[in-house]
Structure 1
């Protein structure tokens, strides 16, 4: 299963804690942790500082407490814990699925399961409320999707369209049509 993973597992960039203006870059591959830094200063005595890099294999990184502290200071403790888990070989395969594949899988879930999935991570919350997913759900539950429904979905979103009852939906479509007719200018002959 690990062969399905890309070579680069994680990348992040950030600025050091205030008042520092230093820039940091963290890259995790399947075999290595790379921590780069660039010193940014307007003082003359810092102009000779060159960018630096620390590269370690994952096994060595797990024992390097100093690098752990640096990563936690710049990127936070959650990122540090995530990097440690990656180095231990604990991959979150579900989180790494492509959007089209995830769309195909999630479209088979019940609404309650989609709601639960949306609470597991920021990515899934964003995905479970996306128009792509809800357009597919509407398409699978409705017999036909009219042009009026598509236009209304463009205005209010597919998720809102799905949860709108039929009477309200018909009323909104009528209002939309009336508004379009009112906005048309009379043709002079």
Structure 2
């Protein structure tokens, strides 16, 4: 298995469900799950209460149903599902890549493949339809790209530039 670029795999913070105003944080590292709570209260006896941190191994988290219920109640079922998946060792490296790196990779795919990829998830649909994607696509595939074309693409839009200038005219793309 490839090594992870950093210790922390996932982190999320949120306020608990009403009526409480407590604040929660869930952090998952390569080896443990950390669930922190901060009690928010106007009562004199509870003011300044230190945060509570519950640290557990991935294995223990998978068997700690009460903690899973708390995570699900605070952060929702999708976050709980993702946390359980991480604890089971299902690390999705694609989710961890920044958009600019993914856009660079996508720009080298055939357009029919990006059309299919856009159906995989909301993130890929957003990336495949973005102006940045079309800019990368035009720049990577046009051997004779000039500054005038750059100005035109910025005025028209990169997607429109691709379909008007290259796709319909049958110009040579790399």
TM-score tier by shorter-chain length is 0.7 to 0.9
**Range moving further from structure 2, 26-35 or 145-154:** 145-154
> Is 1:41 aligned with 2:41?
yes
Aligned to 1:137: 137
* Rounded Cα–Cα distance in structure 2 between residues aligned with 1:165 and 1:96: 35
**TM-score, with normalisation over the residues of structure 2?**
0.82
Q: Secondary structure at the match of 1:26?
A: strand
Deviation at 1:47, TM superposition (A): 1.5
CA distance in 1, matches of 2:121, 2:44: 45
Q: Which residue of 2 aligns with 1:7?
A: 7
- Unpaired segments ≥5 residues, structure 2: 169-174
| Aligned length, in residue pairs | 167
Structure showing greater Rg: 1
1:92-114 superposed Cα distances (whole Å, 9 cap, x missing partner): 12222344543443223221211
SS in 1 for 2:161: helix
Q: Over residues 99-133 of structure 1, what are the superposed CA-to-partner deviations in whole Å (9 max), with x where a residue is unaligned?
A: 45434432232212112212322332332233332
Matched, 1:56 2:59: no
Q: 1:45 offset after TM fit, Å?
A: 4.0
Please list, as runs of the form range in 1=range in 2, the aligned pairs for 1:177-188 lying within 5 A after superposition: none
- The aligned counterpart of 2:149 is 149
**Structure 1: runs of 5+ lacking an equivalent:** 169-189
How many angstroms does 1:148 deviate by? 3.7
- Partners in 2 of 1:44 and 1:156 — Cα distance? 61
SS in 2 for 1:3: coil
Cα distance change on mapping 1:19 and 1:151 into 2, 3 Å:
farther
Q: Which range moved further: 94-103 or 19-28?
A: 94-103
1:88 aligned residue: 88
